[in-house]
Amino acid sequence: MSNILIIKHGSLGDIAQACGAIQDISENHSNDEIYLLTTKPYIDLFKKNKNINEVILDKRLSKFNLFYLYSLMKTINKYKFSKVYDLQNSKRTTFYKRILFPKADLNTWSSSETTLPSDSSKDEFDKKPVLDRFEYQLKTSGINTNHTIFPDFSWSCSDISKIKSEYKLEKYIILFPFASPHLTSKRWPYYNDLINKITEKYNDTFKIVVAPGPNEINDAKKFKALCILDNGKSLDISQLSTLIKNSSFVVANDTGPAHMTAHLGSKGLVLFGAHTTAYKVSIERENFKAVQVVDLNKLSAEKVFEKLSNELF
């Protein structure tokens, strides 16, 4: 039995996308112990994942913090990992390879760099859909990929019966009108207009709800929707997963909850401007579709409502 390390830091959408690859690695190493190196927001979440034996915290401190690097190196070295699967594929994890496994090749360290096709540069390879890149990396590393292209994030769900009872949630539509402050280009500005149209057509058939993150609670007041919280605080990732999975429909900007929705099998729409494409981020699924436009400010509420109405039932 060997110890196997998977590296996946985040963001939330990335975590949802990677769970199929993690499942494939685990199933192909069924006689080994699987460890995951991740960041603080996902420690408790991954403790619920049956494909992971132990979770290791990476504080992601500065690369110039020699005390931290020494501590991290000491922690990792004590497990004597026989193989590392780098699913983050970032400059930071490439740096980790150099300092922790300086002589590692494909047989020891699997990454998009060590498995890069001979006829492609990394810049060209990174233009491919993210799940296709995972699949190529793992197949080149000798992994049978049964789940990588079709991640199932439902393992993340938890019991929210008390929350649903408190807010009297039966049939409901969730809106995710938020985005990081520095990513304003991802924000679609007409959610209140969409709420009006849903209410006009469906009356009380569906409650319209929002589930803000910790820094979005004040912003949630701008929308004519029921704000779902747990004792005044944002839902944790597992609670949010269940809220999404039990919903009738989701409309979201291109953020973490959109990727969760896609890989929970829930119905919904994600709205894309020019910042990237739905194809590149592998977000479209059987029940979850994308609306792609050049300028989100020119995407009307009428157009989104038409799409919603066609997909809702």
Domain range for 264 is 162-312
The closest of 22, 9, 35, 271 to 153, measured between CA atoms, is 22
Residue 76 DSSP class: H
The answer to whether residue 43 sits within a structural domain is: yes
Q: Which of 79, 132, 143 is nearest to 110 (CA)?
A: 143
Tell me which of 130, 152, 174 is where a domain ends: 152
Same domain (yes/no): 19, 67: yes
137 shares a domain with 65: yes
pLDDT at 181 over 80: no
Choose the final residue of a domain: 152, 183, 206: 152
Confidence tier at 182 by pLDDT (50, 70, 90): confident
- Assign 10 a pLDDT band (cuts: 50, 70, 90): confident
Mean pLDDT of the chain: 95
* Per-residue pLDDT, 28: 98
- Angle of helix 191-202 relative to helix 301-312, nearest 10 degrees, comes to 50
- Of the residues 85, 117, 152, the one at which a domain ends: 152
Are 187 and 120 in a shared domain? Answer: no
> What's the rounded Cα separation, in Å, for the pair 194 and 307?
11
Residue 308 lies in a domain: yes
Query: Is 24 domain-assigned?
Result: yes
pLDDT, tens digit, for every residue of 259-300?
999 999 999 999 999 888 999 999 999 999 999 999 999 999
Check residue 183 and give its pLDDT.
73
Let me know whether 187 and 293 are in one domain: yes
Domain contains 104: yes
pTM summary value: 0.93
Report helix angle 66-78 to 91-100, nearest 10: 70
Banded model confidence at residue 68, pLDDT cuts 50, 70, 90: very high
Assign 3-state DSSP to the chain and report helix, strand, coil percentages, each to 5. 40, 15, 45
Residue 157 lies in a domain: no
Lowest mean pLDDT across 56-60, 96-100, 167-171, 282-286:
96-100
73 is a domain residue: yes
- Give residue-wise pLDDT tens across range 257-269: 999 999 999 999 9
